[in-house]
Amino acid sequence: MNLFDVYPLYDVTPVSAKGIVVTDDKGTEFLDFYGGHAVISIGHSHPHYVKRLTDQLNKIGFYSNSVKNPLQEELAAKLGQLSGCENYNLFLCNSGAEANENALKLASFHTGKSRVIAFTNGFHGRTSAAVAATDNPKINAPINLQQKVTFLPLNDLEAFKTEIEKGDVCAVIIETIQGVGGLDEPTTDFYQQVAQLSKINKAILIADEVQCGFGRSGKFFAFQHHDIQPDIISVAKGMGNGFPVGGILIHEDIKASYGLLGTTFGGNHLASVATLAVLEVLEEEKLIENAGHLEGYFRALAAEIPQIKKVKGRGLMLGLEFDFEVADLRKRLIHDQHLFTGGAKDKRVLRVLPALNITENHLDTFFTALKAELQ
């Protein structure tokens, strides 16, 4: 049997990793400034993370959600405390797509409506309603197109007002910082108006924090830069530092009932411990503050490079915009400078999504290598 060939692959085979250093099968070391799509939030093989998972695996790794799992309750309490979202309840699942799927389903249950408003260049996953709400026709199969989704330009308040006031919208889903789309953001005024109009028109506001949440933006959640309160917050990626974990935070105004949502693997013992370990390291090492501090340092170094036309994003979810497509630059950074970076739907944007415990010295190395390839 062969693998189903759906990924274009770089010719690099990692076999071990520590911090932001990834070592391949030839012994070559790479600095990881991409974290596998912002998944590695506290560094590869962080000792606290490894110990927590190892200790748990030696006790019990999995049982279904038909029995009590106090680790889930511990996780919900810790997440509420660190995020400031104590007036939410937590449902755990396995991925960002599944988180958004459950968020959209719950919004439809709660409102009794079915149309979704999403935004141009948004990405919410590859399954069912989540992919239907993703602005990419290439990954939407005919079966996905049954969903009723209206795409609107980001920051176009008049267009939003026109659609939300039609009264048939169950959910408004928005990435606070777009990931795949290329690091665009809603303005604070637009986000606040969206929140207000959604509430007036009885639509559920879903903040997609799958990539920008868990401290990456310099606050626990990126929507906290805009002083709004979503009805549902979706999370995943950096939540488990590589262990498959996802979830939604559901405002306490939305009530639960048995059977409303469900999952086989979500919130299992290992997943809960992986997320607890991430939260503990974020708190102990002050990594959210570090992400906020390093954004300023990053922007200062970027300002010294004339080929960089714009710096996008916040914290350590950043994009460098050029006036040329960056695919070849990314290849040279990997093969000549031994640095991992990311691309975006906007092919002129180089994405930088490192672990939140990198240092100024790491950024110095990154920009030295970037300058060498831009000469």
Which amino acid, one-letter code, is at 150?
T
> C-alpha distances in angstroms, 223 versus 220, 227, 234, 256?
9, 7, 12, 24
**Region label for 146, one of left (φ > 0), alpha (ψ between -120 and 50) or beta (otherwise):** alpha
Taking residue 159's Cβ as centre, other Cβ atoms within 10 Å add up to 14
Show the CA angle centred on residue 61, arms to residues 56 and 67, nearest 5°: 110
Neighbouring C-beta atoms of residue 272, cutoff 10 Å: 24
Closest CA to 282 of 221, 329, 214, 204: 214
The model's confidence at residue 363, banded by pLDDT at 50, 70 and 90, is very high
Entry pTM: 0.96
Summarize pLDDT for 46-62 with one digit per residue, the tens. Answer: 999 999 999 999 999 99
Nearest to 180 by CA among 232, 220, 229, 121: 121
| Spatial separation of the C-alpha atoms in residues 293 and 289, rounded to whole Å | 6
- Strand ranges (E), 25-134: 29-32, 88-93, 115-119
pLDDT-derived band at 368, boundaries 50, 70, 90: very high
Tell me which residue of 272, 275, 274, 282 sits closest to 355, measured CA to CA: 282
- pLDDT tens for residues 306-355? 999 999 999 999 999 999 999 999 999 999 999 999 999 999 999 999 99
For position 324, what pLDDT does the model report?
96
Note the pLDDT tens digit of each residue in 101-152: 999 999 999 999 999 999 999 999 999 999 999 999 999 999 999 999 999 9
- Calculate Rg over the CA atoms of the chain: 20
Tokens of 88: 């939410």
Using left for φ > 0, alpha for ψ between -120 and 50, and beta otherwise, residue 350 falls in beta
